[in-house]
Amino acid sequence: MAPAPIAPLSCQGLGLDLAGNTVLDALDLTVHAGETLAIVGPNGSGKSSLLKLLAGLRKPTRGSVHLMGQPLAQVPRRQIAQALALVEQQADTLDAIRVFDAVALGRTPWLSALAPFCANDRAIVEQALADVDALHLRGRLWGALSGGERQRVHIARALAQQPRLLLLDEPTNHLDIQHQLSLLHQVQALQVTTVVALHDLNQALTCHRVAVLDKGRLVALGKPLEVLTPQRLLDTFGVHAHYLTDPYDGARILRFRAP
């Protein structure tokens, strides 16, 4: 039997306590190469904390994270950043930085005194801007951008890192409906393994797999339609839900009612 391929990212028995409260507990998760994995759960279920632990920004209280089979705690920060990029919610700045320069920050893990910013880096930054449909914003100042434009610039910066893994924390927040759809489509079209925390369960339905968090525990993991059952939605989110079929393309969509 051939050995199983090394998972790009996985965690075992992951737990996090903050100020005496258990934020995450006993979390086992393996991300498959090339997939888009959605993380869903009510407010405060630990989605953002999980992404922070997976990106190595916080030290877990219990358990461990493995990146390409290596314990994350032993991988140097720079090497992590070459493999994995995280787009957080609401990272902001007061600096009058231009969009191009904000995206160029994504090249930081690849630059050094011996490898300064060169034409190749410039091309990568421009491609990243093009990937999120933001090339026309390149000369604009950060302060002059709308919320949705800022979100796209953040994602472009993550893409400029040329990561194999992309972690996104509610990337479609602040976006108008057109950009929500195009952004998710663009992210899913990228040749990178993606873990994305989502609020909109109908968006989660378009991902390869869905992980459901409830009070810091992983309560379900699998294909969207198998995981997001009406009973699960009632138990975890406290809403009644049933599936409708879109007459336009036959896609299944969720409709919710308060209990």
Residues interacting with another protein, by CB under 8 A? 52, 55-57, 76-82, 84-86, 88, 91-98, 101-102, 105-106, 108-109, 111, 113, 141-144, 154, 161
Residue with smaller CB distance to another protein, 47 or 154: 154
Instruction: Please state the closest distance from residue 19 (CB atom) to another protein, in A.
Output: 9
d(CA 237, CA 84): 30
Q: Which residue, 161 or 236, is less far from another protein as judged by CB?
A: 161
The residue (of 78 and 223) whose beta carbon lies closer to another protein is 78
CB 155 within 8 Å of CB 173: no
Min dist. Cβ of residue 69 to another protein (A): 20
Of 11, 12, 9, residue with least CA distance to 167: 9
- By C-beta, is 195 or 228 nearer to another protein? 195
Least separation, in Å, of the C-beta of 55 and another protein? 6
Min CB(2)–another protein separation in Å: 33
